[in-house]
Every structure is written in C-alpha cells, then in structure tokens.
Chain A
Amino acid sequence: MRNLRWLAAIVVADGLVIASLVALGRPVEATGLVGITAMVIGVLLGIAVIRWALGGATGVVGVARAVVEEAVRMRGTLVLVLLLVVAIPSLPLLLDHSERLAYRMQFLLTWSLGATGLILSLLTIILACSSIGGDIESGRIQMTLVKPIHRGEYLVGKWLGIILFNLLMVALAGIGTATFVRLLAATEATDARDRTAVDHQVLAARVAVEPTPGNPGEVEAAITEAIRRVEEDAPEAFAANPDAARRRIRHEYTWQWHTVTPDTTSIFVFSGLEAVRESVGKGGTVQLELKPRADNVDIDLADVRFAMWLNDRPWPMVGGDHQEQTLSTLAVHVLDLPADAIDDDGVLRVTIANRNLVPAGETHPTAITFSPGEGMRLLWRAGGFAGNFVRGLVVMWIKLTMVAAVAVAAGACLDIPLAILASLVVYATAVGSGFFRDALGLYNMVSSTIGGAIAERVGRTMIMLLEGRWYEAFRMLFGLVTDVALWLTPAFSDFDAVGRIASGMLIPGSDLVACLWRIGLAYPLIIGLIGWAVFERRDLIRSST
C-alpha cells in the first residue's frame, strides 16, 4: 500500500518533469527521461513476467525465482541495473551534433551495446557469486539443500534465474538502443552522402569479401621460392620456430601483392559473387570499400591517384571520359559500383593503375597499398538492420550465459571475493583473448599446436632451470600459462556482435550457431561440470560456526 503511494508520487513527478522539459524546448532531454521511465517500467513488468513464467513447483524453478528477486534487491546488482537503465537513454545527450549523422549513429550503437554487455557481465558475475556465496555464508543453503533438490539442480536453478534476468535486460537494452537509433536516424543528415552512408552502411546488414591476387599462381610460387631461399641462405632463421618464419615470409609477400607500385597495374579479384547480382537486384550497387595508404611516410596525409577498370572496362565513365580517382589516405572511402559489372561467373576483377604524380621534393611517385584485411573489401547488402540487430542481441545474451556459467561455477567452489575475482579473470581473458592472440601470437605461441607449445615450453623451462636462468625460466612458464589460458577460453571477439552491428555488417547464421555451440554450450558445460563436481564434495556450512 505504502509502496503504491510512493510509486504514484514518482510517476506524477516524472510526468511533470517531462512536461516541463518539453515546454522548455529540450526535446532530447525529455526523450531521455521518457526512455528511463519506460525502461524502469520494463524492468518491473519483465520481472513480473519472469516470476509468472517460473511459477512451477520444482526445485530448479524455485531457486531460479529467488535469484531474480535477489537481482533487484541486492545493492551491488541493483546499482548496475539502474546504471544501465539510466545510461542507455542518456547516451544521445553525449552526441556531438557537428559530427556526421552516420558517425553519430555508429557511436550510439557501439557505446550503447558495449555498455550493455559490460554492465550485464559485471552484474552476472556479482549476482551469481554473491547469491551462491551468500546462501552458504548466511546458512540459507542449509535450509534449501535439505529439501528434495540435488546440489546440481540448485546450481542449474541459479544459472537459469540469472540467464532469464539477462534475457530481460538484453531485450530492454536492445529495445531502448534501437529506439534511440531510429529517432536519431530520423534527424537531419549532414548531406546527401551522409544520408546514403546512414542507409547503406549503418542501417544495413552487409556481407564483405576480400580480394585474391589476379595472378595467384605467381604469388604462391614467389612465396614458395622465398621460403626455399631463406631456408638455404639463413637456416638459423628456421631453427627456432619454422612455422613462425614461414608465417612471416607469407605475411611479407601478401603485403607486397596488395601494393600497386608507381606506373604499374595490379588486379584484385573478387569471386563467388553469383548470388550477389540477384540479391542486389537489377541496377543495384555493390560497395567497394577502400582505405589506401601511401608508402611515403611524409605524404601520409596526402591524396593518392589511380585509375580503375571493372572486368577490363574503364570505370567510371563521365561524358565519355575515363575518370581517375583521387582519394585521401588514412580514410575509408566507399565507391558504389554497378552490380551489373560482375560477370556471369560471379567474378569481379578490379584493375588499379597507379597514377600518382611525383610529389614536390621527391624523385619518385608513391606506391599505393591496400593493406591486407582492411585496405580493400567488396560489400553488398544481404539483409535489413532489424533482423541483424536481433541476432547481435542473441550473441550478446549467449556470451552472458557463458559468463553466468563461469560465475556460478566459481561461486560453487570459492567464497565470494575469490569467486568474483576468478570470474572477472575469465571474463577479461574471453574479452581480450582475440587481442592477446594477435598481439602475443607470433611471439608467444612457440608452436602452432597447443600440445607442441606445452611440450616446447616445458622442455625449454627445464633447460633454463638447469642452467640457472631463473628469470627466463619464469618468463617461459608465464608464457605457458597465457598460452593455455588463451587456448582454453573462447574468444568473444570471434563473435563481435557490437562491432558488426555498428558497421552494418551481417552476423551470419553460421556464426550464430558456432557461437551458441562454443560459447553457449560446450564451454559452460565443461566449466559447469567442474564447478558441480567440487560443489558436491563441499561441506555446506559457514566457515566460522
């Protein structure tokens, strides 16, 4: 009764503030407050729905229900819920209106979804660890586990409650983010190109392919030849780690064929595009994304000049003339190419001729590099924004179910602070694992297989210990730990939902399945079983009785 009166007072006050903000001509702030109100109502309604859905009378469901109640009652988690509920509607206030609209939308998507993932991961860890740890520390678990419920069911109940709560929060955050992005998209764009970018590069689900060399045989032969030569001339380079040496040579040559030297012509081939012409439609376009680099450091910020042919036909033709392209370096350019240029075999060959002039004070013109991976991609629209956005939310939720499994397992084995710490370490490894693999990969992985790496490192550590090189031995052991940790923890970046949604890239169904299997099922199952095995053997009483 008292609660109801409070609620009524808050709703009235909230309505008055919103009305006065509108009257004062502050629509963005008013919208934000409406958003906060709507999300609070959403949380309350959602919890009522979960409570109703978990209405059955079984142990698992009973435990799950109690966790959801705890989620909005424990101070630590309540703060995070409120933070999320306030953060998402407030983000639009941080936008810089002098920026291009497409960029502002990407900013909003990245931060809104990124913050959601981070906050909900922290919430999951705190909720799981302190719910289980709290049950044990307070002795509540003694009253629960003398009822007809297995210890495993108890853990599953905790996990179920947490992932259902996460489902609610992800859904609310998703609805909030999508709403604010749509509202933003309806505002005025900087110019026509900006509007095109919004429609075709943000509010889209695109697929990208990278080019292969026009003369693949030659490139491959050159690489083989180079490897043979180095093996002959400098065998010591291969002694330590032949795989790494080969990878380095391949990397060098790959870079080389992505470079168009002055006064020469290179061919970049995109193949397998049979379906694209149909999906894009007659007269439709595909996007060639270019991020050119100049090989001369001094003129990095200058323009590069080149001419282009699509399947040997000059492009673009303006009034019968073959136009040259002048593009600034270190920026991403998107050229809309006619999909009709793709031939019947689904191949599009992009020929690029370097037309750079000799810069002032230089004796040579500049080479143009489209660096591997990001310098040149062909993209086309494969679906709408909404469907892709939902897929992204599903990926986010799957990651949270893994975090929940880790935290439940940790909570089952360790007391609260240690469990939170352990879960945070695993979470950080999963988030950073892609980065670490790239950053440390060439140096850290001494062998291309984990078994080889372990054997190699253990062997070398032994030798170093025998020789008394303690510090090196320690470093080698540390490398072993990171190798194993990285190998054990699935990389969240393998399924980068936020980045893909913000850059209008399709999250393929196959990715969704792989994510569900690796991050949503296999890994949580293993971690969960380990946690359960320890929990079964634990004396469930307070440490100090």
Chain B
Amino acid sequence: MIAGETAREPEAVDAAAGIDIKCVGLTKTFRDFWLRPRVRAVEGIDLEVRRGQIYGLLGPNGSGKSTTIKMILGLVTPTSGRIAVLGRRPRDVASKQRIGYLPEESYLYRFLSARETLDYYGRLFRLPSRVRRERIDRLLEMVGLDAVGHRPVGEFSKGMQRRVGLAQSLINDPQLLILDEPTSGMDPVGARQIKDVIADLGRRGKTVLLCTHQLSDVEDLCDRVAIMFGGRVRAEGTCDELLVQEDRTTIRSDTLPAEVVAEVRDLLARRGIGHIDVERPRRRLESLFLEIVERARAEGVQTSGAKAGGSVAEFLKGPEATDQAAVVGRDDTTRPASAPDSTSGGVDSNLIESLTRRQP
C-alpha cells in the first residue's frame, strides 16, 4: 500500500496532476419551460479534491449536492463557473474511462438481469468479453448478488438495485469514484459493507467523492468534508478540524467502582470543575444489528434477498497495479498512475492552472 500512502499525501504529488476534481465559482440556476430562472441549486462553489482522497460532500436534502455532482459529470451544464475532472473538462469522453458513478437512485433497465446490466455497462467501457465476465462474477459476489444475478433487476428491492448500481460503478476499475448517497435504501449490513468497500478503495489510492446527508458515513470514511447548505459550501476541512470540540474532554476506562468515581468527583471539584456526567459507554445500534445478522448467517439461515457480500473484488487494484489491466481502447497516456510525470501527459495542465489562478 505504499503507492496508496504516497497518493494520499497531496504535497508529495505534483500540484497539477494531484487534483482529480476542481471546481471554481460553480453556479447552476434551473430554468422553467419559459426559460425564466427558477431554482438557484448551486451558487458559486469552489471545490478541490485531490488524488487518493475520500472527500465528503455533506448537506441536507436539496442543498445542491447532486446538482454539483451532475455538473462534474457533464450531465448538467453549469450556468457559470469552471470544472476540471481528471485534468479534463467534464464533457470530455476520454476521462470517463476512469470514472465510476453511482447516481442518487438506481436507474436500470427493468427487464435486464443484474448480470446483463453489468454486461451492458461493461460494453460501454469497451471491456473485452473475457474481462467483462470475470469482473461481473467478482462484483456480483462482492455486492452479494451472485445467487440472483440472472433475475431481472425490475424484481429487485431498492437496496438490491442499489447494489447493482454500486457494482456497475466499479466495472471499469475507476480511478475516480463518485457516489451519490450510496447507503440510501440499504440495510445496515449493506451500508456497513459499502462503507468498508469505500474505505478499502481509499486505501488502494482511489479518489472518492462521497455525497451524503448521513453524518456517520462521513465521520467514518472521509479525509476531507465540505458541508453544503442552500447551494453554498458553509464549511470545509478535514474531519478532525470540523469535529473536534475544543470545550469538551472525554475520559474512558474500564468499569469503575463507586468509591473511585466519588474520588474522581472530589478531585475534579477541588479543581473547580463542577458539572460531570458519569455513564457506562453504550455501543452503537449499528454494531448490535450487525452482530445479530452475523449470528443468523453463521446458523445458516437462508435469504432470497441480498446476501452480506464478500470481500472487495481483487481487480480493483491500486493505481500502480492497474497498468497491467487488460482494457482495450484505452490511451496509455491518459491513464492514472502514482508517478506524477506519467500522468501529466493526459492532463490538460493549462486548464488546471487557469482554474488555480482564478481561485481567491
């Protein structure tokens, strides 16, 4: 994981090549049928996501997260502002080869099976059939759908469709993964597992833009967070920067006998600290739920829905290993690599530069 470590140190990487997503002054105003401006979904956002980061885009519903993501992906044209994705403009098809995207909802052909769905997207990436078949097997196993891969996805539950969505976003072994509320509609097991996958991918040096309104997702995973509200970024920084409460201290220990607690109270009182809460630490509901499901599975209880899913598919390699991946139609100069000089060839450094210059 050395490459992964290096990639996660932005300073160690060339400034131009190390930025996977950069937005400057991004604004989107939706217009109605008569072209009258109606909704200001995004207002003057600046974002910078570096290679290897897991970047959280946090905000309540309707704060403009999805709109921002769709502009980054070239689905929506910004009203103003500029974007560079993997060193290229959002509508550039070449960079799409290295992007994986899970939309906020899973939009699938109802009549295609999970396997056919993944095959369809694999074709769009021009993956040869052997590679497609192999990856589909691995991914279905990874998201726990290998037993129901032949069933039409129209029959799937929302969470199962979500798993298909996640699988399709990984079929091209993307360098940049953009996930829009990946845990929505998922059971806690699935949510936990998706988080594990994201963390694992992060360790492998992938860049992840994670868009969510679930604080726990961000807390557990993200290196950096931008908190959006009303189309603007209200706060930005690392999790520690944002979450450390300067005015509170927590002390944890094994269970204390009553007399020891009294002694501590006395000590603190003598020091002038009056308000103290003493409580037994509670574990989180999530971990209890996980334990119950885990036990059921160990007892061999069957399910016709999604299974827990296996480990991360092994073709999802770190950036240095992807060089050997059998992918046709890919221009070698445009592929990701941990070494900055080999990357800069495919990156429109002028674009990055001009964006950087405009930043206040």
The residue in chain A whose Cβ has the minimal distance to the Cβ of B165 is A143
- Alpha-carbon gap, A150 to B122, bound state (A): 16
Which residues of chain B are near A463, meaning CB under 8 Å? Answer: none
Q: Is the CB of B75 within 8 A of A146?
A: yes
Which residues of chain B are near A146, meaning CB under 8 Å? Answer: 73-75, 96, 99, 101
Q: Is the CB of B75 within 8 A of A66?
A: no
Q: Is the CB of A148 within 8 A of B77?
A: no
Which residues of chain B are near A539, meaning CB under 8 Å? Answer: 30, 75-77
Q: Which of A34-42, A57-65, A300-308, A397-405 contacts B (4 or more CB under 8 A)?
A: A57-65
- Alpha-carbon gap, A98 to B172, bound state (A): 67
Q: Is the CB of A147 within 8 A of B121?
A: yes
Q: Is the CB of B126 within 8 A of A57?
A: yes
Q: Which of B106-114, B140-148, B197-205 contacts A (4 or more CB under 8 A)?
A: B106-114
Contact of A540 among B75, B101, B125, B168 (CB under 8 A): B75
Q: Closest Cβ of chain A: how far from B70's Cβ, in Å?
A: 6
Q: Is the CB of A73 within 8 A of B111?
A: yes
Q: Is the CB of B107 within 8 A of A66?
A: no
Q: Closest Cβ of chain A: how far from B288's Cβ, in Å?
A: 35
Pick from A57, A146, A541 the residue with the most CB of B within 10 Å.
Answer: A146
Contact of A148 among B73, B108, B126, B129 (CB under 8 A): B126
- B82 an interface residue at 8 Å Cβ cutoff? no
Which residues of chain B are near A139, meaning CB under 8 Å? Answer: 103, 105, 107
- A140 an interface residue at 8 Å Cβ cutoff? yes
How many residues belonging to B are interface residues under a CB distance threshold of 8 Å? 36
On whether A149 and B109 interact (CB within 8 A), knowing A57-B127, A143-B168, the answer reads no
Q: Is the CB of B125 within 8 A of A148?
A: yes
Q: Is the CB of A57 within 8 A of B129?
A: yes
The residue in chain A whose Cβ has the minimal distance to the Cβ of B99 is A146
- Alpha-carbon gap, A63 to B172, bound state (A): 17
Which residues of chain A are near B124, meaning CB under 8 Å? Answer: 59, 62-63, 144, 147-149
- B193 an interface residue at 8 Å Cβ cutoff? no
Within 61-76 of A, Cβ neighbours of B (below 8 Å) are at 61-63, 65-66, 69-70, 73
Which residues of chain B are near A534, meaning CB under 8 Å? Answer: none
- A449 an interface residue at 8 Å Cβ cutoff? no
Within 143-160 of A, Cβ neighbours of B (below 8 Å) are at 143-150
- Alpha-carbon gap, A56 to B124, bound state (A): 10
Q: Is the CB of A537 within 8 A of B77?
A: yes
- A545 an interface residue at 8 Å Cβ cutoff? yes
- A138 an interface residue at 8 Å Cβ cutoff? yes
Which residues of chain B are near A540, meaning CB under 8 Å? Answer: 75-76
Q: Is the CB of B107 within 8 A of A138?
A: yes
The residue in chain B whose Cβ has the minimal distance to the Cβ of A537 is B77
- Alpha-carbon gap, A353 to B112, bound state (A): 74
- A142 an interface residue at 8 Å Cβ cutoff? yes
The residue in chain B whose Cβ has the minimal distance to the Cβ of A545 is B66
Q: Closest Cβ of chain B: how far from A158's Cβ, in Å?
A: 14
Q: Mark A62-97, 1 if CB is under 8 A from B, else 0.
A: 110110011001000000000000000000000000
On whether A142 and B123 interact (CB within 8 A), knowing A69-B112, A539-B75, the answer reads no
- B94 an interface residue at 8 Å Cβ cutoff? yes
Contact of A140 among B74, B109, B122, B132 (CB under 8 A): B109
Q: Is the CB of B120 within 8 A of A66?
A: yes
Within 208-247 of A, Cβ neighbours of B (below 8 Å) are at none
Q: Is the CB of B75 within 8 A of A147?
A: no
- Alpha-carbon gap, A48 to B29, bound state (A): 46
- Alpha-carbon gap, A96 to B75, bound state (A): 59
Q: Is the CB of B75 within 8 A of A57?
A: no
- Alpha-carbon gap, A293 to B109, bound state (A): 63
The residue in chain B whose Cβ has the minimal distance to the Cβ of A72 is B111
- B97 an interface residue at 8 Å Cβ cutoff? yes
Q: Is the CB of A57 within 8 A of B122?
A: yes
Which residues of chain A are near B127, meaning CB under 8 Å? Answer: 57
- B37 an interface residue at 8 Å Cβ cutoff? no
Which residues of chain B are near A61, meaning CB under 8 Å? Answer: 123
- B93 an interface residue at 8 Å Cβ cutoff? yes
Q: Closest Cβ of chain B: how far from A544's Cβ, in Å?
A: 11
Q: Mark B51-90, 1 if CB is under 8 A from A, else 0.
A: 0000000000000001000100111110000000000000
- Alpha-carbon gap, A540 to B122, bound state (A): 21
Q: Is the CB of B107 within 8 A of A58?
A: no
Q: Is the CB of B126 within 8 A of A143?
A: no
Within 270-304 of A, Cβ neighbours of B (below 8 Å) are at none
Contact of A145 among B75, B109, B129, B168 (CB under 8 A): B75
Q: Is the CB of B93 within 8 A of A148?
A: yes
Which residues of chain A are near B75, meaning CB under 8 Å? Answer: 142, 145-146, 539-541
Which residues of chain B are near A148, meaning CB under 8 Å? Answer: 93-94, 96-97, 124-126
- B237 an interface residue at 8 Å Cβ cutoff? no
- B128 an interface residue at 8 Å Cβ cutoff? yes
Q: Closest Cβ of chain A: how far from B127's Cβ, in Å?
A: 6
- Alpha-carbon gap, A411 to B76, bound state (A): 18
Q: Closest Cβ of chain B: how far from A58's Cβ, in Å?
A: 6
Q: Is the CB of A149 within 8 A of B101?
A: no
Q: Closest Cβ of chain B: how far from A47's Cβ, in Å?
A: 13
On whether A142 and B125 interact (CB within 8 A), knowing A69-B111, A539-B76, the answer reads no
The residue in chain B whose Cβ has the minimal distance to the Cβ of A145 is B75
- Alpha-carbon gap, A63 to B105, bound state (A): 21
Pick from B97, B126, B127, B328 the residue with the most CB of A within 10 Å.
Answer: B126
Q: Is the CB of B101 within 8 A of A62?
A: no
Which residues of chain A are near B122, meaning CB under 8 Å? Answer: 57
**Given known contacts A66-B109, A539-B76, what 15 new A-B pairs fall within 8 Å (CB)?**
A56-B123, A57-B127, A61-B123, A63-B124, A65-B120, A141-B107, A146-B99, A146-B101, A147-B121, A147-B172, A148-B93, A150-B93, A540-B75, A541-B75, A541-B76
Q: List 14 A-B contacts (CB under 8 A).
A: A57-B122, A57-B123, A62-B120, A66-B109, A73-B111, A140-B107, A142-B75, A145-B74, A146-B75, A147-B125, A148-B97, A149-B124, A150-B93, A541-B70
Chain A residues at the B interface, C-beta cutoff of 8 Å: 55-59, 61-63, 65-66, 69-70, 73, 138-150, 537, 539-541, 545
